[in-house]
Each structure stands twice: as structure tokens, then as C-alpha cells.
Copies of this chain bind each other. A is one copy, B any other.
Amino acid sequence: MYRNIKKYSKKAGMPPGTLVHIGKVKTGDILVSLIEYNENIFNETKINNIQQYTPISEKSVINWLNIDGVHNTETIEKIGALYNLHPLTLEDIVNTGQMPKIEEYDNYTFIVLKMLYYNDNNKSIEVEQISICLGNNFVLTFQEEKEKDAFKNVKDRLRLSKGRLRKAGADYLVYSMIDSVVDSYFLILEKIGEKIELLEEQVLNEPSEQVLHQIHALKREMIFLRKTIWPVRDVISTIEKGGSNFILDSMHIYFRDVYDHTIRVIETIETYRDILSGILDIYLSSISNRINAVMKVLTIIATIFMPLTFLAGIYGMNFEYMPELKWKWGYPLILAIMLFIGVTMVIYFKKKDWL
């Protein structure tokens, strides 16, 4: 959360348009791979030296250049030059603190998205910035993390020649990418849903202070998700309404479908927030209930033993003329009275439902 802002403030004061990688410090080469395909052809090449690569624009073949890692600004700049990308686009690609957005340029449509992964080890959500440039018959994708591949499914389907993907154009490829990004949100929501379900049980059975911190943590995850996913809706809505020249009108029905999914994601987030508020209410009132229960114990003990102790105190006084003290049955009598008082109190509390 705070980290993102640091990303920005780091650049404050520099002239706009300066290429500075903002994000986790990374080393090692950037991996560049090219996939050329159409209905019949499928070539996958690893490009080791970007300097020697020239994009071939042949109408019948779709070029997909996938770049893994954006920390090497030189390589990014070289690619930018090859494809004639606007300086602001390059700046956005290397600055990984972007919000999802879509921007229309003369020669390409620029889309920024956020891929979400759930890290099962530390139970946290991980984000990867995905930048997509869609032009005539070419698609550039920039993925922040080298270790992760947001588009593994898409590649596999291309390889296996599955579905419409190989027959359709570059816009369908981008649609498949966006679709898998939005699908990742459902996986995240499922994990969070499980956490909330667990929390709900916990708050009813053993409401410890731990619950509160978990509610707080989940609420912050919700805030984070909403902030990340909300603009995705606008991106897809813009496409659906014809905001990109590189996406055919016949594709709009597909984007309407992804749009529906995004709406579902957002609604689920809102629902989760409502449920979390409900859990918080239960937690808070359970504290009050426990205070109440403790108070009752204290009151019962005090109410029973204070009068009894007082009685014992009376006959512990050292007055010379206390006739009861001399009675033979004085002691048993007082014990009986005490027992009676005690039992009466207990019955009274039973009636009041305190016991």
C-alpha cells in the first residue's frame, strides 16, 4: 500500500518522460520471446539479443512479443523504438506503480492490467503489472516478474491449436489475455472467501483479539483489491464501447462477457466488505457480552459472600453482653441462617437467568 506511493514519490522532481524503473529491485536479463502464428503456422523463438531483432509485419501472421521483466530500461527503450511507442507509454511500462488503464495511440492501443497471484506460503496476494500494446497484427506484452507467466494458459492453447484462438486475430489474443487476468481475480476471491468463512466460524466460537486483527487485515486486502480491480472495469467498458481502433466490433460481445465477470468480481468484493462489517459487529458485541458475563460472576460472588461475611463479622465482635454467643444452638443456628441466605441468593440468580 505505502510501497506504491513510495514508488511514485521516488520519481518526484524528475522531468516527465524520464525512463526510470520503479518497483522491486531486480537483476538478470530480461527474457524476450516471440510467438508467430496464424491458423496454420506456430513458431516460438527466444530472442537473446534485442538489438538484432527487427519486427516483420506480414499481414497473414500475428506477432506476439512477450517481455518478461521490465527492470532493464535499455531493452525496453530499444523495443519502444522498434515499435514506435510513445515515451509516456514506455514510462508507464517500467513504472510498476500504475493503475489499470487504457490509452489509445495512433499506431497501437496501450492497456495496463494487474495480474494477481495468491501466495499460499505467506497467505498473501502478489501483484504483477501487465502492459499490453495491441497494434496491427502485433501484440507486445510486458510482464513485471520473470518467474511468473500470467499468460501460460494462453500460450498453451496457442500451441495446442485449441479453440478459436489460432483462427482469430490479434484482438482475440488480447481478449484471451484479459480474460485470464480477470479469471485470476476469481481465484483470489475464492481464497479470501475461505478465509472469511473461517473467520465467521471463529468469531462465533472463540472470539479472540486475533479475530479483530484478521478482520482488519482482510478489510485492507479488500481495499487493495477494490482499488486494483475497479479501474479494470473501466478499461473493459472502454473497449466494449469501441474505444480501441485495433479491436473489431464483432469482438465487443466477448468483451461484454468479460465485463460481466468484472462486475461480478466487484460485487463480490462489496459483499465481502459487508460481511466483514457484520463479523466486526459480532466481535465487538461479543466483547461486551463477555464483560457482562464476567460482571455477573463477580456480582454473584459478592452478593452471596458479602452478607455472609458481615454476619460472621457480627458474631466476631467482642461485646461482653451478646446473649446469642452463649446459646448452645447459636453456632448451628447462625450456620443454618447463612446457608439459607446463600441458597436464597442462588435461587434468585437462577430466576434472573444469571446462573
Residues on A facing B (Cβ under 8 Å)? 1-2, 4-6, 8-9, 11-13, 15-18, 86, 88, 97, 99, 101, 103, 153, 157, 162-165, 175-176, 179-180, 183-184, 186-187, 189-190, 193-194, 196-197, 204, 209, 212-213, 216, 219-220, 223, 227, 253-254, 256-257, 260-261, 263-264, 267-268, 271, 274-275, 278, 280-292, 294-299, 301-303, 305-310, 312-322, 324-331, 334-335, 354
Contacts and interface: CB of A to CB of B under 8 A. Distances in A.
Contact of A179 (B16, B292, B312): B16
Contacts of A288: 284, 287-288, 291
Given A299-B301, A313-B316, 15 more contacts: A1-B271, A6-B193, A9-B186, A12-B184, A12-B186, A13-B183, A209-B286, A216-B282, A290-B292, A294-B296, A298-B299, A305-B309, A308-B310, A312-B313, A313-B313
A313 to B, nearest CB: 3
A6 B194 CA distance: 10
Contacts of A328: 321
A183 B317 contact: no
A219 B278 contact: yes
Contacts of A1: 193, 271, 275
Give chain A's interface secondary structure class.
Answer: helix
Contacts of A315: 317-319
Given A261-B8, A319-B334, A197 B2 contact: yes
Contacts of A17: 163-164
B312 A320 contact: no
Contact of A299 (B189, B263, B294, B335): B294
Contact of A316 (B223, B318, B330): B318
A164 B97 CA distance: 24
Given A2-B197, A176-B16, A331 B326 contact: no
A254 B16 contact: yes
Contacts of A176: 15-16
Given A15-B162, A263-B99, A299-B298, A331 B317 contact: yes
A260 B99 contact: yes
Closest 3 pairs between A and B when the two form their complex, measured CB to CB? A312-B313, A12-B183, A315-B317
A270 to B, nearest CB: 9
A317 B319 contact: no
A160 to B, nearest CB: 10
Contact of A220 (B227, B275, B334): B275
A319 B309 contact: no
5 contacts: A5-B186, A15-B153, A212-B282, A295-B295, A305-B310
A8 B101 CA distance: 24
Contact of A291 (B193, B275, B278, B291): B291
A8 B186 contact: yes
B312 A317 contact: yes
A300 to B, nearest CB: 9
A254 B17 CA distance: 9
Nearest to A312: B313
A175 B165 CA distance: 38
Contacts of A5: 186, 189-190, 193, 268
Given A187-B9, A223-B271, A291-B292, A316 B312 contact: yes
